[in-house]
Amino acid sequence: MLKYLFVDFDGILTDTETEVFHRMRSWIAQHTGHSLTLEEYALAAGSWHAHLVDYMKNLYGDHFDSDAFYRFGRTLEGEVLGALPLMPGVRRLLDDAKNLGICCGIVSSNLARTIQPRLDFLHIRSDFSFVLTAEDVETLKPAPDLYLKALDVSQVSPKEALVIEDSKNGIIAATAAGLKTLAVPCTVTRSYPFTQAWLKVDSLEAISLAEVAERFAKESA
């Protein structure tokens, strides 16, 4: 029986990934001359850009200022998140979850100071039982720590929770924690095959949570 949805924030609740990609591409081009591709950025999506930093260090070594990049990233995400609405289908998903008696929690590699103000701006704070962010674990996605923490906080088993993610790193993290995943690719992750996902849809608008919950219950029995 499906009791909990563990929901990623960036790319699922709001389309931050697309805007962040374009601004990061400009910053990286300005500071290194490298033209960041969608495929390269997709490697970092869902992991607070740690993988992107590693990639750029491999290309440019000590010439890449990772501290400056992190400072830029933190400033950027605060600016971007302040202007973006809910993704299509999110409001209906949250309402359907409430009507079906399914709880929801946010599980994100982003920072609490970035996400918390957005919950009030988007009027969704009351829809979530808990919010887990980068500060809550030592190792971020694709490590399973955040999802293991979510299981502990929610007091449910992996057979009672479904993860909604838009990134490769998020899917890997959830799978490593023993959880089924619903992949909903955003613009920058759309080319990734998501072969590890239990289910993949193009948009949250394309799903019926009641049907997903019924299928989940049958396959988790």
Q: What is the CATH classification number for the domain harbouring 190?
A: 3.40.50.1000
48 neighbors 140 (Cβ within 8 angstroms): yes
Poorest-confidence range of 24-33, 57-66, 140-149, 167-176? 57-66
> What pLDDT is recorded for position 19?
78
For residue 173, give its domain range.
4-14+87-220
Tally of domains in the chain: 2
Half-sphere exposure of 104 (CA within 13 A, CB side): 22
> What pLDDT is recorded for position 147?
98
Poorest-confidence range of 4-18, 34-48, 91-105? 34-48
> What pLDDT is recorded for position 46?
63
Domain end: 81, 102, 127, which one? 81
Confidence at 49, pLDDT banded by 50, 70, 90: low
Taking 70 as the threshold, does the pLDDT of residue 114 lie above it? yes
Average pLDDT, the chain: 89
> What pLDDT is recorded for position 138?
93
What's the pTM value of the predicted model, to 2 decimals? 0.86
Quick one: which of 33, 38, 20 has its CA closest to 59?
Answer: 33
The secondary structure of residue 87, as a DSSP letter, is: P
Claim to verify: residue 10 and residue 20 sit in the same structural domain: no
> What pLDDT is recorded for position 6?
98
> What pLDDT is recorded for position 77?
64
Element (H, E) at 200: strand 199-200
Taking 70 as the threshold, does the pLDDT of residue 81 lie above it? no
Give CA–CA dist 186/197, Å, rounded.
15
Claim to verify: residue 108 and residue 68 sit in the same structural domain: no
Q: Can you state the angle between helices 50-60 and 16-32, rounded to 10 degrees? A: 20
Claim to verify: residue 94 and residue 189 sit in the same structural domain: yes
Claim to verify: residue 49 and residue 99 sit in the same structural domain: no
Give CA–CA dist 71/69, Å, rounded.
5
Quick one: which of 70, 61, 67 has its CA closest to 32?
Answer: 61
Give CA–CA dist 37/168, Å, rounded.
16
Claim to verify: residue 102 and residue 205 sit in the same structural domain: yes
Q: What is the mean pLDDT of residues 27-51?
A: 77
Element (H, E) at 131: strand 130-132
Helix (H, G, I), strand (E, B) or coil at 186: coil
60 or 100: which leads in pLDDT: 100
Taking 80 as the threshold, does the pLDDT of residue 209 lie above it? yes
Give CA–CA dist 183/181, Å, rounded.
6
Q: What is the mean pLDDT of residues 1-11?
A: 96
> What pLDDT is recorded for position 129?
98
Half-sphere exposure of 3 (CA within 13 A, CB side): 10
